[in-house]
Amino acid sequence: MTAALKKKIFAGKRITPAEALSLFSWDLLELGGAADFRRRLVHPQNTVGFILDRIINFTNICEACCSFCAFHSRAALPPYELSVKEILHKTGELAAMGGSQVMLQGGLHPDHGIEHYAGLLKAVKKKYPGIALHSFSPSELVHAAKKSRLPLDEALIRLKAAGLASMPGASDLLVDRIRSKVSPRKITTAQWEEVMRALARHGLPSSATMTYGMGETLRERVKHLEVVRRTQDATGIIRAFIPWSFSPGNTRLPDIVPATGVDYLKIVAVSRIFLDNVRYIQAGWLTEGLKLAQVALAMGANDMGGVLTEERVVKATGSGARACAEEFIDLIKNAGRAPVLRDSAYRVIDRRPWRKK
């Protein structure tokens, strides 16, 4: 079985879910080497991209109150809601440092319908037309559409007209057995897939994430990957896949033992091999730390994501690394790869970003 599977992987062929499951029992370095081989098939040029961006978490008032979240106002932080003026100020700071992408994301505020979400996009786009708005999430879209009593397609038409360029896939764990326990008021797996199909109909690219380590089995982790691969086969809109581990600090799941570094590296490697239709696998430095993210670059990852200035959701758990472009450049070079600055659509905008150091 292992010899046959190795042959399949090194021939660049698609593997089955059962084969993906068996990869978790492989020796880590052997698995990482196979994933790096698959990465080089897709990206022979040895580059690792990153983007200057800013997450603006505009409110933590949220009617979902997921037990795995430390960010919402009934968990660790007092309630807040940023004004448009504050959002513009933060966007201005990003623009001044040469940033190119803003991720507006927030809780499911009981008073926010589609008009509110569209208003935020319009305000940012009017003042900073060059900033790409990679914003909101499938849960926020479903929430806003429901509040405004609109079908998803109409809601997306309005957001796109207001300046939305793409939407992060923010998929948590696409396993309803776990979702019903940790986020029962959030969308189901089927609804997530529905949103992705709607995004595709409106020409809006997306991504997919995976928050693992919430009591799921290895088989369920593969199930999540199956949903992502199936969705990508159907839509082609998933630009990147970003796995990260659940951080239990300040959540209502304090007894969960955090996943280990080996767990993380195996997820990255299995994702690279199984998701043969997703070009970019991001190293999740925010939850795993810069040093482990650097190792992930040798095991299938080929993008560092963004500097995510002022991200609050992960930081609310008490974990969450910090980084700047200079650190990205140094660690990518130190890993023997070539750092490139990219835009929101993964186009290279600077092949020698270290000149600006």
Binding residue (CB under 6 A) for ligand SF4 from 15, 34, 69, 204: 69
Cα→Cα distances 90→122, 174, 331, 345, 352, Å: 15, 32, 27, 22, 27
Kindly tell me which of 15 and 242 has the beta carbon lying closer to ligand SF4. Answer: 242
- Binding of ligand SF4 by 64 (CB under 6 A): yes
Least gap, CB of 186 to ligand SF4 (angstroms): 5
Least gap, CB of 313 to ligand SF4 (angstroms): 7
Q: Are strands 101-105 and 53-57 parallel, antiparallel or unpaired?
A: parallel
Choose one: 61-69, 233-241, 323-331, 346-354; the region binding ligand SF4 (CB under 6 A): 61-69
Binding residue (CB under 6 A) for ligand SF4 from 71, 128, 264, 328: 71
- Binding of ligand SF4 by 337 (CB under 6 A): no
Residues 144-183 that bind ligand SF4 (CB under 6 A): 183
Ramachandran class of 148: left when φ > 0, alpha when ψ lies in -120 to 50, beta otherwise:
alpha
The rounded distance, in Å, linking the Cα atoms of 24 and 219 is 10
Kindly tell me which of 116 and 279 has the beta carbon lying closer to ligand SF4. Answer: 116
The rounded distance, in Å, linking the Cα atoms of 186 and 64 is 6
- Binding of ligand SF4 by 65 (CB under 6 A): yes
Site string for ligand SF4, 13-42 (x = CB under 6 A): ------------------------------
Cα→Cα distances 252→202, 221, 248, Å: 37, 22, 8
- Binding of ligand SF4 by 312 (CB under 6 A): no
Distant-in-sequence, close-in-space partners of 242: CB < 8 Å, separation ≥ 6: 207, 208, 209, 210, 281, 282, 284, 305
Binding residue (CB under 6 A) for ligand SF4 from 21, 35, 56, 62: 62
- Binding of ligand SF4 by 112 (CB under 6 A): no
Choose one: 62-70, 284-292, 293-301, 317-325; the region binding ligand SF4 (CB under 6 A): 62-70
Beta-carbon neighbour count of residue 278 at 10 Å? 20
Tell me the number of residues near ligand SF4 by CB under 6 A: 12
**Do residues 107 and 64 lie in contact, with contact meaning Cβ atoms separated by under 8 Å?**
yes
The rounded distance, in Å, linking the Cα atoms of 71 and 59 is 10
Least gap, CB of 297 to ligand SF4 (angstroms): 28
The rounded distance, in Å, linking the Cα atoms of 103 and 240 is 15
**Do residues 301 and 268 lie in contact, with contact meaning Cβ atoms separated by under 8 Å?**
yes
User: Which residues would be at the binding site for ligand SF4 (CB under 6 A)?
Assistant: 62, 64-66, 69, 71-72, 107-108, 139, 183, 186
